[in-house]
Amino acid sequence: MAEFKEGWNYLINSRKWHYFVDRRSLCGRWAMFFGDNHDAQLGDNDSPVNCAACRRAVEKREKDDARTKRVSETESQAVVGADGADSHLGAMQRPDQSE
């Protein structure tokens, strides 16, 4: 069985193109149980023939992916101090603790 690709696909009984991931459209209205989507297309998210709900879901996924990438880059740049604690957190104390 061929690998199912992620991307925009047109179904004969649908008026719009839908974005499929793991054989389900992101809008939740369509599923592809048979065949493959060897002609799935990436990009062109702003086309007027695309399903609006799928387009919004794709935009949300792209924003979430970008946010996750920024967070992982920030975490990888954290410097670990000699005591094993992150240096930017080492000087912080809880407000109820006094010296």
Report pLDDT digits (tens) over 26-73: 999 999 887 777 778 888 889 999 999 999 999 999 999 888 877 777
Q: How far is CA 92 from CA 45, 56, 87, 96, in A?
A: 45, 40, 10, 12
Quote the DSSP letter at residue 36.
-
What per-residue confidence (pLDDT) applies to 4?
A: 75
The set of residues, in sequence order, having a beta carbon less than 8 Å from that of 22 and lying 6+ positions away, is 4, 6
Residue 25 has pLDDT above 90, yes or no: yes
Q: Residue 10: pLDDT above 80?
A: yes
Rounded Cα–Cα distance for residues 99 and 95 (Å): 11
Whether the pLDDT of residue 21 is over 60: the answer is: yes
The partner residues of 57 in beta bridges, in order of sequence, read none
